[in-house]
Amino acid sequence: MGLKERILTKSIYAFHVSSGSCNNCDIEFLDCLTPRYDIERFGIVFAASIKHADVMICTGSTNRMCVPRIKMLYELMPKPGFVVAWGACGASRGIFKDSYNTGAPLDEVIPVDIYIPGCPPKPEAIIGGFVKLIQKINETGKKTK
Amino acid sequence: MKTLEYIFQFLVFPGFLFSVIMGLATGWVDRKVTARLQWRAGPPWYQNFVDILKLLLYKETLIPQGVSRAVFLGMPIIAASAATLVSTMVLVINGAPQTGFIGDLIVIVYLMMIPAVAIMMGAFASANPLASLGASREMKLMLSYELPFILCLVVPIMKSGYAIRLGDIIASQSQGAWIIASPSGVISFCVMLMCVQAKLGFVPFDMPEAETEIMSGTCIEYSGKALAIFKISKAILLFIIPIFMITLYFGGIRLDFEGFVKNILQYVMILVLMIVIKDTNPRVRIDQAMRFFWGPVTVAAVFSAALAFLGR
């Protein structure tokens, strides 16, 4: 684990993209900022602009209207950047799998690094997901995306 | 030799390097106190250093299409160098009060405005509607807080026998009483605290970069190194403005043991006061802020100046 991984894993700015989610996952992310879970103690902060972000958190079922916008946001994110598929819909389209409106799951649109399943995922599961992301950054090492 | 000494003072101590380290540490105090006030644990002490190093060393710097590169990338550097110059001047004059020149207080006031102007120019240059909205708010905010800010500077100037040298203000306080130990000084200090809150872009006056509303407004298109340099300039201002207030109202930095302990207590008091104001207030609208600064705050500043003229 070099200096680069050490720094990248200690300071994670997360940007939140909602592509047709029911708002449940979004509220659960806000729960992580509350005193009980407080992910700021690990250096994880909400970024307001995609240009400040290291991690793009995608919630929702990736509907057709959102696909070009998700691609654009992925290209706007300064690299090295990572993508988290959040909740059942983000990971696999969930109950909207056969809907006319959802063409492809998120990982066929942009490369996804970590999946956090659940409908919605509990804050404990979210922190667990970030631990997996940190492990992945450490393992991939020098590989930048 | 003198030139080398100046360059050392500007770049290392007490200029750029020292101010950046102290500024980032002060920024951590801000985050930690905020977290404790909200009953959270808060980030570890090295958090701000890690954030800046990440942006400086490893993140891409993106430049939007159709943007003037010189303005877009030059403005962060102008902001950081102006902030560094402020901190160098204030700290050097505090160390040796005779080194200043006539009117250095006015130069410092102007230099403190440059970071805000640079942020505004950079935001207008970044070709983003939200950024230009933030920049226009920054401009209105600057117009509103500069008037009471300069009016309340009149009190220390009058109290120290119409001195516009920072060194003379320090010298007059070392012989007599502190400027805050008078009615006009207290009012002027409170006005300065409000203006500083807006100068640093703290809540309730953070409309230029309202995160939840216009997505960090003025900085929206900045990434990587340019964003890091903007953050550095803000950190330097956060470090130096309480010291500037100590210089004006509490008799400056003392280098003996007892005086230095008092200085630290004053510094922490001013900083925590600013953080508590920041954490216990909601963001106001730009017209409310303007009415606030041009109404009650300016009246209070004029009142304190009148009291100082009468010798109170």
Does B60 contact A78 at a Cβ distance shorter than 8 Å? yes
Spatial CA neighbour of B92 closest among B116, B108, B78: B108
B227: buried, middle or exposed (CB in 10 Å: 19+, 13-18, 0-12)?
buried
- Give residue-wise pLDDT tens across range B149-169: 988 888 888 888 888 888 888
Tell me which amino acid residue B27 is: G
Residue in B202, B212, B189, B199 with CA at minimum distance from that of residue B275: B202
Of B147, B152, B151, B171, nearest to B160 by C-alpha is B171
**pLDDT over 80 at B212, yes or no:** no
Residue from A70, A59, A55, A57 nearest A25 by CA? A59
- Rg of chain A in Å (alpha carbons): 15
Residue B252 confidence (pLDDT) above 80: no
Q: For residue B223, is pLDDT > 60?
A: yes
* Spatial distance between the Cα atoms of A50 and B221, rounded to a whole number of angstroms: 9
Residue A83's DSSP bridge partners are A56
Taking alpha carbons only, the member of B155, B218, B48 closest to residue A11 is: B48
pLDDT at B78: 92
Residues of A in Cβ contact (< 8 Å) with B61: 78
Cα B242 from chain centre: 8
Per-residue pLDDT, A145: 44
pLDDT at A1: 63
Which pLDDT does position B172 carry in this prediction? 81
Q: Name every chain B residue with its beta carbon within 8 A of the beta carbon of A40.
A: 31, 35, 40-43
- The 10s digit of each residue's pLDDT in B128-154 is 888 888 888 889 989 899 889 988 888
- Kindly give the confidence (pLDDT) of every residue in chain A, 145 residues in length, as a single tens digit, with 9 standing for 90 and above: 677 777 888 888 988 888 888 888 888 888 888 888 888 888 888 888 888 888 998 888 888 888 889 999 998 888 888 898 888 888 888 888 888 888 788 888 888 888 988 888 888 888 888 898 888 888 776 554 4
Concatenating the DSSP letter of every residue in A87-103 gives: HHHHHH-GGGTT-TT--
- Please report the pLDDT score of residue A143 as a whole number: 53
Distance between CA atoms of residues B237 and A58, nearest Å: 36
Chain B contact for A76 (CB, 8 A cutoff): yes
**Average pLDDT of every residue of chain B:** 86
CA nearest A23: which of A140, A143, A120, A88? A120
Least confident of B89-93, B171-175, B286-290: B171-175
For residue A15, the chain B residue with the least C-alpha distance is: B215
With pLDDT > 90 as the criterion, what percentage of chain A qualifies?
Answer: 0
Higher pLDDT, B205 or A142: B205
Residue B1: pLDDT band with limits 50, 70, 90: confident
Contact flag B53-A7 (C-beta cutoff 8 Å): yes
Interchain proximity A48–B212, CB inside 8 Å? yes
How large is the average pLDDT for residues B90-119? Answer: 85
Q: Distances from the Cα of A24 to the Cαs of A13, A126, B12, B106, B198, in angstroms?
A: 21, 13, 50, 54, 36
Average the pLDDT over each of A27-31, B36-40, B97-101 and give the range with the smallest value. B97-101
Q: Which of A40, A41, A48 sits opposite B216 (nearest CB)?
A: A48
Q: What is the ipTM of this complex?
A: 0.83
Residue B268 makes CB contacts below 8 A (sequence gap 6+) with none
How far is Cα B227 from Cα B190, in angstroms, rounded to an integer? 32
